[in-house]
Chains A and B, each alone.
Chain A
């Protein structure tokens, strides 16, 4: 069965430091990949997505993610974290056009130290 793993439940970084959030998926083919951010008590905002093509994807708020097929990974990165980035981050996969059924990872809660 398809699954998404976010190994880090909590991550704490200092403001201005770089960030990498890990995401691994299990699926036979290349899925559609997404990163969402959720602020407390809020819905989900799309940061970026990968469908095909260039494996390095740029998103909003200075985030980027790289799809590595050999590692079944889609890690999220940001070179310099801002205090406002503190939130919950979810990696999700969709197993293809027409399904729209997302499988979410368990999320990584990011804390930013001033």
Chain B
């Protein structure tokens, strides 16, 4: 199956700094990627849809200036948490659609990145 990789898997930063998380599709091209946030013992909340070559589409309530998304190539999307605060600490997961073989409706998920803001 298609493989999606995230880096870093864990990151600790000081309050006020910015952190970048990368999401890569390793063996396919992904025109669309999705970023989720997962709070402890809770479900995944869709934050935004990342579109290659265009602006990301953010879900209601997600601050686009806080969570910057860039999808500069067909295999890479990045999420930058700007001026991070402790409340931004969370597990961030990306996913991507693999359009090979048609529109299957299936997404492939990365391993997730745990952000801890001190």
Q: Does B103 contact A (CB under 8 A)?
A: yes
At the interface, yes or no: A94 with Cβ under 8 Å from chain B?
yes
> Which of these, B44, B107, B109, contacts A100 with CB under 8 Å?
B107
Question: Is A43 a contact partner of B109 (Cβ separation < 8 A)?
Answer: yes
| A→B interface (CB under 8 Å) | 32, 34, 36, 41-46, 49, 51, 90, 94, 96-98, 100-102, 104-107, 109
- Chain B residue numbers with a CB within 8 Å of A51 are 104-105
Q: CA of A75 to CA of B41 in the docked complex: distance in angstroms?
A: 21
Residues on B with C-beta less than 8 A from A34 are 106
Residue B93 at the A interface, CB < 8 A?
Answer: yes
**Which residues of B lie under 8 Å from residue A44 when comparing CB positions?**
44, 93, 95, 109
Q: Determine how close the nearest CB of chain B comes to the CB of A52; give it in whole angstroms.
A: 10
Known contacts A44-B109, A51-B105, A100-B105; is A105 also within 8 Å of B46 by CB? no
Cβ of B49 and Cβ of A101 under 8 Å apart? yes
Q: Across the interface, name the chain B residue whose C-beta is closest to A96.
A: B105
- Taking A43-B109, A43-B110 as contacts, is the C-beta distance between A100 and B32 under 8 angstroms? yes
Contacts of A102 in B (CB 8 A): 34, 44, 46, 95, 107
Counting chain B CB atoms within 10 Å of each CB, which of A49, A90, A100 scores highest? A100
25 A–B contacts from the bound complex (CB under 8 Å): A41-B91, A41-B112, A42-B111, A42-B112, A43-B93, A43-B112, A44-B95, A46-B1, A46-B106, A46-B108, A51-B104, A90-B44, A96-B105, A97-B103, A100-B32, A100-B105, A101-B34, A102-B46, A102-B95, A104-B43, A105-B43, A106-B43, A107-B42, A107-B43, A109-B41
